[in-house]
Amino acid sequence: MKIKGLIDEDIVNYKKCSMYIAFPNCSFKCGRDLCQNNELALAPIIDISSEEICKRYLSNPLTSAIVIAGLEPFDSPFDLLDFINCLRYKYENNDDVVIYTGYTEEELLQTGDLKLRILYNNICKYHNIIIKFGRYLPEQEPHFDDILGVNLASDNQYGKRIS
């Protein structure tokens, strides 16, 4: 799979100590000028297997969740599903997986993009999946999200346990 970065222990994006995986693709639906991840978009792509990431995660006694973010995880559908399948089925791990998306819940549920809707429906079948919905909007007051246990940058963003 292709990623932009990996942090073994992150305490910024979720209430539990998590592995943070930065995904490499984004359609820049928010507008390239508004994107808070412009620098990440310029970072080199790293090729690493889902299995290698899972082994690395499972060997770390400090982490108990995985945050998938970066640019836009839903714009890398095959890598996203492959990683979750590997974690859930090959390694039989049911720790929380948190997916940070700029899409709204309505866009994922009612989109005309069949691939996006199928991906969302497939992800909903897994256990312990939490999604942070909503685009970054500049000049808003951060607010605390009870589900994620962290501050989110924009009023329209929220975490939701989908399974």
Examine the pLDDT at 105 and tell me if it is beyond 90.
no
Examine the pLDDT at 111 and tell me if it is beyond 70.
no
- Mean per-residue pLDDT of the chain: 89
Segment holding 161, helix H or strand E: strand 158-161
pLDDT mean over 42-51 = 92
| Bigger pLDDT: 65 vs 71 | 65
Examine the pLDDT at 144 and tell me if it is beyond 70.
yes
> Which residue range(s) make up the domain with 25?
2-161
Number of structural domains found in the chain? 1
Examine the pLDDT at 32 and tell me if it is beyond 70.
no
Predicted confidence at residue 33, as pLDDT, reads 61
pTM confidence score: 0.91
- 111, 135 Cβ separation under 8 angstroms: no
- 37, 5 Cβ separation under 8 angstroms: no
Segment holding 39, helix H or strand E: helix 38-42
